[in-house]
Amino acid sequence: MNAALAALKRVCLIGSGNWGSAIAKIVGLNVMNQPDVFEKEVLMYVYEEIIDGAKLTDIINLEHENVKYLPDIKISPNVIAVPDVVQACTNADILIFVLPHQFVKETCEKMASAVKPGALGLSLIKGFVLTEGEGIQLVSNIIKNTLDIETAVLMGANLATEVASEMFCETTIACHNPEYHGILSKLFQTPYFRVKVIENVAGVEACGALKNVVGIGAGIVDGLGFGDNTKAAVIRLGLMEMMKFTKVFLESDDISVFFESCGIADLVATCHGGRNRLLGEAVVKSMKYICHSSYFEPFCLSRLFSAAAFSYNHSSRHMMFQVLYSHHMAKNSCLVFTYFIYE
Ligand SMILES: NC(=O)c1ccc[n+]([C@@H]2O[C@H](COP(=O)([O-])OP(=O)(O)OC[C@H]3O[C@@H](n4cnc5c(N)ncnc54)[C@H](O)[C@@H]3O)[C@@H](O)[C@H]2O)c1
Ligand SMILES: O=P(O)(O)OC[C@H](O)CO
């Protein structure tokens, strides 16, 4: 192992929402319990908000609880909330990114001059970044290219509130450099949060992003009251589409990744207990009918990474749900999630 890897590691968290706060609980305790591996203090960048007249950072530092995004869960006191992202990342060796994907690029640009050369990035962000011109990009590539650091990912069937309540689950970490595998396990593994580390970063990350789309489809099925058999069909078809996407757009034939926690397990968890599922259900219940080719995006804001078209004909009970997620990616190529459900 090289000298840089052997020195004590300073960890920071970039993001502090529902998942960021749950992960802060794990990382804070693991860092404290391994003083031979990690520095004790973990700075956590918190996008400042005022809650009942008080700053969220002050509340977290006084009460050791993120009262807005993860109430009733205590975070260990060595996790210090800071509102300045540059302060949070300065001198850190491991930077854990857990922001909603739409904020990642601007946040990295602010951090660029302060990040330690040779630091390791780790993205827990599930989504793709869509920009005019460059099309769909992996979040890990945005971090890697903006900060010039190696970037790993962590994805899995990890609904934040369940993890925070210490209910058993598994997760998948992917990192190209095997020298980091051990330290990443030490940072995240607990008796209830079981870590497997592999090397297929793009495959793991694609699973985390694509399952959101299927989760919205599952919510639509729930909203329409179509039952568990239909939802199982959507999950199966969705998994096949996820595989097809990674083969076509990431040129990856590695299907083993779909059988890790980041794959089928996260798909099932999201389709039953995720917010993407809630979104799909809420859209159907609140709107009943959405014209064909109306754009889904305004309704779900950041939750969908691309434009989607949805149509439902109530009288014939025929539903079609499409996500045109490759529209901007390559000229003349367009892979489409399409669910046809007839009764
Ligand atoms: N919640 C889960 O169960 C869960 C589990 C696994 C992965 N994830 C993924 O983790 C990522 C973060 O999700 P979350 O659930 O923690 O978020 P969240 O929806 O709970 O919170 C949103 C966060 O964004 C912050 N924010 C708002 N405006 C901002 C800005 N302009 N700049 C920077 N930050 C801003 C808020 O302060 C808050 O911390 C997502 O990619 C999500 O898919 C979530
Ligand atoms: O609430 P969702 O749908 O964003 O899913 C949360 C997590 O990704 C589940 O692992």
CATH code for position 14: 3.40.50.720
For 179-183, the CB contacts below 8 A with 24+ separation are 179/1, 179/2, 179/5, 180/5, 180/120, 180/150, 180/152, 183/5, 183/9, 183/37, 183/94
The reply to whether 23 and 82 lie within a common domain is yes
Computed over every residue of the chain, the mean pLDDT equals 84
Instruction: Please tell me the residue having the least CA distance from ligand 2 atom 7.
Output: 159
Q: Which domain holds residue 38?
A: 3-199
Instruction: Please tell me the residue having the least CA distance from ligand 2 atom 5.
Output: 274
pTM across the whole model = 0.88
The reply to whether 169 and 33 lie within a common domain is yes
Q: Which residues line ligand 1 (CB under 6 A)?
A: 15-20, 47, 49, 69, 98-101, 103, 107, 124-127, 158-160
The reply to whether 281 and 192 lie within a common domain is no
pLDDT of residue 168: 98
The pLDDT > 90 percentage for the chain reads 62
Q: Which of 175, 199, 223 is the last residue of a domain?
A: 199
The reply to whether 30 and 173 lie within a common domain is yes
According to the annotation, is 103 in a ligand binding site? yes
Q: Which residues line ligand 2 (CB under 6 A)?
A: 126, 157-159, 215, 266, 269-270, 274-276
According to the annotation, is 144 in a ligand binding site? no
pLDDT of residue 342: 34
Number of structural domains, the chain? 2
The reply to whether 194 and 251 lie within a common domain is no
Q: pLDDT tens digit string along 109-130?
A: 999 999 999 999 999 999 888 7
Q: Which of 170, 199, 228 is the last residue of a domain?
A: 199
pLDDT of residue 1: 52
The reply to whether 172 and 264 lie within a common domain is no
Query: Has 244 been annotated as catalytic?
Result: no
Pocket test for ligand 2, best of 276, 279, 281, 283 (most atoms within 8 A of CB): 276
Examine the predicted complex and report whether its ipTM is higher than 0.90. yes
The reply to whether 211 and 78 lie within a common domain is no
The reply to whether 181 and 220 lie within a common domain is no
